[in-house]
A = this chain, B = another copy of it.
Amino acid sequence: MIQDHKHDMTQERLLDKAEALFAQRGYDAVSVREITAAAHCNLAAVNYHFQNKKNLYLEVFRARWIPRARRLQEFFRKSSVIQNATSPTAIAQGLAEAFLLGPLSDDERHRHFQLMVRELSQPSEALELVAEQVMRPFFTELAEMLRPAIGNGVEKQRLMLDALSMFAMVLYFNFARVAVTRITGREYDDAFKGQLVKHITEFSRTGLGVG
């Protein structure tokens, strides 16, 4: 029992540090030595608990990333905006709030989106997991939420593209933080994040609203 406990603690610490480092600098730039040092355990622990480096990376997705994505989706579904209305505007606002302000700490959110962008732009086995278990079901769900308002006659692809576009903004304003800060001159404090949510909601509702 004590052994299991210690075992678990080491595994947990390794997963935590591995996720943070992989998110920050990517799989290849991070060494097992660095991860174990950060987790205050021995070099051999990664191989003992996770067989090898690659499997540790996958386990980060299985044990951390996917559950967190589910929490985010749950938060979105239960948010008051969605509970009170399922208009496209409400959906956009719910999405933006959940993913920009939602239940995650700043660090956790940052890690989450960094890992996602890495996988989107350079898919590994982890994307298989993520696409099948998280993304496809969620976008399908979003598309069906949009259908009543957009039009029952409309093809599914149109709804999917709408959902992907809302998500594109959410993703972008999370991962391109440094560039957005550089271009707008604004730091990602609570005020600015609030404005971003408002902007994404508004842009999704009416686009540029003219001509």
Contact = CB atoms under 8 A, between A and B. Distances in A.
Contacts of A173: 164, 168
Given A26-B122, A117-B117, A120-B175, A207 B206 contact: yes
Nearest to A91: B208
Copies of this chain assembled into the complex: 2
A209 B206 CA distance: 6
A45 interface: no
Contact of A208 (B139, B149, B169): B149
B121 A176 contact: yes
A66 interface: no
A62 interface: no
A29 interface: yes
A153 interface: no
Contacts of A162: 203, 208
A28 B149 CA distance: 47
A90 B210 CA distance: 11
A88 B210 contact: yes
A172 B164 contact: yes
B28 A146 contact: no
A3 to B, nearest CB: 36
A165 B135 contact: no
Interface in A119-161: 120-123, 127, 131, 135-136, 139, 146, 149-150, 157-158, 160-161
21 contacts: A26-B29, A28-B28, A88-B208, A92-B208, A117-B117, A120-B178, A120-B179, A131-B182, A136-B183, A150-B208, A161-B195, A164-B172, A164-B173, A164-B180, A165-B200, A168-B171, A168-B172, A169-B169, A204-B208, A206-B207, A206-B209
Closest 6 CB pairs of A and B: A87-B211, A168-B172, A88-B208, A28-B29, A207-B207, A28-B28
